[in-house]
Structure 1
Amino acid sequence: MFEEGQLYSPVTRHEDGTVEVHLSDNHPGRNDEHYLQRRGEIAGAALSWTRGEPIPVIDYTETEHEIWRTVSHQLAPKHEKYAHSEYLAAKHALRLPTEHVPQLHEVTERLQPLTGWSYIAAPGLVPLRDFYGDLGSRTFNSTQYLRHGSEPLYTPEPDIIHEVIGHGNQLASPRFARITEAAGKASLRVETDDAMKFIADVFWFSMEFGVMREHGEVKAYGAGILSSYGEMDEFAHMELRALDLADMGTLNYDITQYQPVLFCAASLDQLEDVVGSFFETVDDDSAAKLRAEAVDRGLVEAASD
């Protein structure tokens, strides 16, 4: 199940105005004071930003640009090998820069003519309902920091590489963008936390870690896979299950590990028919019925009183 807050390092603004990002013990930058200070500066820019104002511009360092270049160049051949053609076509249409970290307004300027989506700045965690509510208005909350330079091909949390190379390229596809928008609008229809988590879990196993068949091969379209150097080498060896909403909405998973179970669509048409239609129609009652189905099938234990 999706647990809000697991993905991002907590951010604190102190009384003196300084901003501290609390990295996990396994984070490569945990003991790097310069990196910690930089993370605080970038998070502080987002915290000080007010909607309606221009998106904060980050003066990225040459080290940060080099991380972006390294990852962009390393991911490119893997995308050509492992990504679904819909993602590749969207990536080629978006034409993200590979030699420098793009500003979020630059991503918006490239995305809007394609699908009408825009990017806004987030310091880290955005409350679940706020994040999805913004998706419903074709707005993506993105972090602006980069992973630690000691491990440019790894990050324990979503950074701008994940948010932009993963999701931005995905959102440049009108078909993927419609599914994502539908997930956001679904969050506005449901009232219970259980239904909201069910939506987030289906999103996790589709738009974050989804795969589908194409010309007899399993290809990735999920942003979490396609922004991860290591995950792309591993996903074809995982247990692949057919799209199953009851299973997708209740399966437990560990966000800190490669995903051992993935749900594979037979085609993009099927993804739209199953996942897209779910997001377009789900409400509290239908989410509860799917969870009850999962209990009846032994996919998940019934909630204790």
Structure 2
Amino acid sequence: MLRPCSGLLSARDFLASLAFRVFQTTLYVRHTGSPHHSPEPDLIHEFIGHCPMFADPTLAQFSQEIGLLSLGATDEQIEHLATVWKTKTNCRRPMTGLRMRRRVLGDFQGIENRTRTFQVYWFIIEFGLCRQEGRYKAIGAGLLSSYGELMHACSDKPDHRPFDPETTALQKVEDADYQPLYFVADSIIDAMIKLRRYARSIKRPFSVVYDPITRSVEIIKEAQDLVTTIERFKADLSAVTDAIEAVSKDAHQHYRITNE
């Protein structure tokens, strides 16, 4: 679900929205003088970049899982999932996505010596690449909505490295120009497997499971919470098992008729 947002979001709030399958979208449109690239998130970025991604179940789930990882995470862990701006006074302004979903441009006037610790979200959901038939293909919304950077990312000019959440969580980012470095996943499924492996290293006081029926997040902290979740999974697994048996039966009958 898309939700219009005209203000500034913290990294924690933005990621928490993703956990509930809600994407906070800006209302800004890039200047006509720079149609091929915008350093700020705008409607073109949202509609051409993110919306097609959310139409793909695997990519939508990948984005949600990053959001679920943020629930119960410490501030330091949030920094690895989202960006933190640092100033001379060590003031931190957490944000996410393109310029970490910066909504109020004037809010950052006068900030000097800004450095950013960067994270998983930027290098895969915003500027990620994958390989397909030996060629680079864009999966990041920041690339899909920026023709100029898309051509740059798929060329031989920037550095390309294998996607690894442990590395991307600590990688600094260039937000004033095209990226000098892009991370490449073998596939979306491979990226999800690596993300889940990385998730096991994030220590939280509880685990969470999203319930698509009630559109709520269940907190698993005690044994009884786990029992309830397992019972729901059993019902889902039973339906899948019945479907597999039906498909297998139809396939067997088709094979027998074909060979008679």
What range is the shorter-chain TM-score in? 0.5 to 0.7
Alignment check: 8 A CA contact 1:208 1:225 kept? yes
User: Quick one: which amino acid aligns to residue 38 of structure 2?
Assistant: T
Alignment check: 8 A CA contact 2:25 2:43 kept? yes
Of 178, 187, 205 in structure 2, the residue corresponding to residue 267 of structure 1 is 187
Of 179, 184, 190 in structure 1, the residue corresponding to residue 62 of structure 2 is 179
* TM-score with structure 2 setting the length: 0.60
Q: Distance in 1 between matches of 2:7 and 2:145?
A: 18
The within-5 A match list for 1:289-300 is none
How far apart are 1:184 and its partner, in Å?
A: 0.7
How far apart are 1:226 and its partner, in Å?
A: 0.8
Partner of residue 202, structure 2: 283
Which runs of 4 or more aligned residues in structure 1 lie more than 6 Å from their structure 2 counterparts after TM superposition? none
Partner of residue 170, structure 1: 53
Q: Distance in 1 between matches of 2:11 and 2:203?
A: 16
User: Quick one: which amino acid aligns to residue 235 of structure 1?
Assistant: A
User: Equivalent residue of 2:71, what SS?
Assistant: helix
Partner of residue 43, structure 2: 160
- Given the alignment of the two structures, is residue 255 of structure 1 paired with residue 175 of structure 2, yes or no? yes
Alignment check: 8 A CA contact 1:189 1:283 kept? no
How far apart are 1:161 and its partner, in Å?
A: 0.9
Alignment check: 8 A CA contact 2:20 2:64 kept? yes
User: How many percent of aligned residue pairs carry the same amino acid?
Assistant: 35
Gapped regions of structure 1 (runs ≥ 5): 1-117, 286-305
How far apart are 1:214 and its partner, in Å?
A: 0.7
* TM-score with structure 1 setting the length: 0.52
Alignment check: 8 A CA contact 1:166 1:226 kept? yes
Partner of residue 78, structure 2: 196
Alignment check: 8 A CA contact 1:186 1:282 kept? no
- 1:227-249 Cα offsets, whole Å, 9 max, x none, are 11111110022211112222101
Q: Distance in 1 between matches of 2:53 and 2:132?
A: 17
How far apart are 1:142 and its partner, in Å?
A: 0.4
Alignment check: 8 A CA contact 1:143 1:160 kept? yes
Q: Distance in 1 between matches of 2:76 and 2:175?
A: 19
How far apart are 1:124 and its partner, in Å?
A: 4.1
User: Equivalent residue of 1:205, what SS?
Assistant: helix
- Given the alignment of the two structures, is residue 227 of structure 1 paired with residue 145 of structure 2, yes or no? yes
Distance 1:245 1:156, change over 3 A: closer
User: Equivalent residue of 1:246, what SS?
Assistant: helix
Alignment check: 8 A CA contact 1:154 1:229 kept? yes
User: Quick one: which amino acid aligns to residue 182 of structure 2?
Assistant: L
Alignment check: 8 A CA contact 2:159 2:181 kept? yes
Alignment check: 8 A CA contact 1:198 1:249 kept? yes
User: Quick one: which amino acid aligns to residue 157 of structure 1?
Assistant: E
Q: Distance in 2 between matches of 1:213 and 1:146?
A: 31
Larger helix percent: 1
Q: Distance in 1 between matches of 2:20 and 2:169?
A: 23
Partner of residue 4, structure 2: 121
User: Quick one: which amino acid aligns to residue 274 of structure 1?
Assistant: K
Partner of residue 3, structure 1: none
The within-5 A match list for 1:1-305 is 118-191=1-74, 193-200=75-82, 201-236=119-154, 237=156, 238-279=158-199, 281-284=200-203
Please tell me whether Structure 1 or Structure 2 has the larger radius of gyration of its CA atoms.
Answer: 2
- 1:179-208 Cα offsets, whole Å, 9 max, x none, are 1111111111312x2110111211111111
How far apart are 1:269 and its partner, in Å?
A: 2.4
Q: Distance in 2 between matches of 1:172 and 1:164?
A: 11
Distance 1:156 1:268, change over 3 A: closer
